[in-house]
Amino acid sequence: MNLDEARQLANVNKRAQRLFEDGYRIRSLDGNLHLIHTQHGATYTLNRAEGSCTCPFFTKNSGRYSCKHVLGFKKLLITQRFHLASLSARWETHEQAATIEQVLLSASRALSARLEVPLCLS
Ligand SMILES: [Zn+2]
């Protein structure tokens, strides 16, 4: 390995650490196959059992060096799952807040009807 290759590999390693931030997303297929969607609309197929990828870097190096997708797969998967879980938790909180609001609204409607006064909502 020459100096240029070493620099390139260091760069690949660095970029592998920030795939999620750079817009990469995983869609898992059956078994060991995963689709990697890039921020530019390209899709590569990653095979975890083989440690292979269909991206240009991996293809160009004939698998001699791992690409950033193979290197960063695990971190991307974990970050993506964490992100989805936190989005889902936020959504649930929002749903609960909406429910509480509906309960309060219907309670104040009932009260307003009983007191025979118009309901003021603002
Ligand atoms: Zn790749």
State the pTM of this model: 0.71
**Number of domains comprising the chain:** 1
Write out the residue range of the structural domain in which residue 14 sits.
3-115
Q: For residue 87, report the distance from its CA to the centre of ligand 1, in Å.
A: 27
Burial class (CB in 10 A: 0-12, 13-18, 19+), 79: middle
Q: Which two tokens stand for residue 116?
A: 């025979």
For residue 30, report the phi and psi dihedrals to the nearest 5 degrees.
-70, 150
Please check whether residue 31 lies inside any domain of the structure: yes
Please check whether residue 122 lies inside any domain of the structure: no
Q: For residue 50, report the distance from its CA to the centre of ligand 1, in Å.
A: 12
Please check whether residue 120 lies inside any domain of the structure: no
Q: What is the full per-residue pLDDT of the chain (122 aa) written as tens digits? A: 889 989 989 999 999 999 999 999 999 998 899 999 999 999 999 999 999 999 999 999 887 889 999 999 999 999 999 998 888 888 888 777 777 777 778 777 777 776 666 666 65
CA atoms of 51 and 49, how far apart (whole Å): 6
Q: For residue 73, report the distance from its CA to the centre of ligand 1, in Å.
A: 9
Q: If you write DSSP's letter for every residue of 45-85 in order, what string do you get? A: EEETTTTEE-SHHHHHTTTSS--HHHHHHHHHHHHHHHHHH
Please check whether residue 121 lies inside any domain of the structure: no
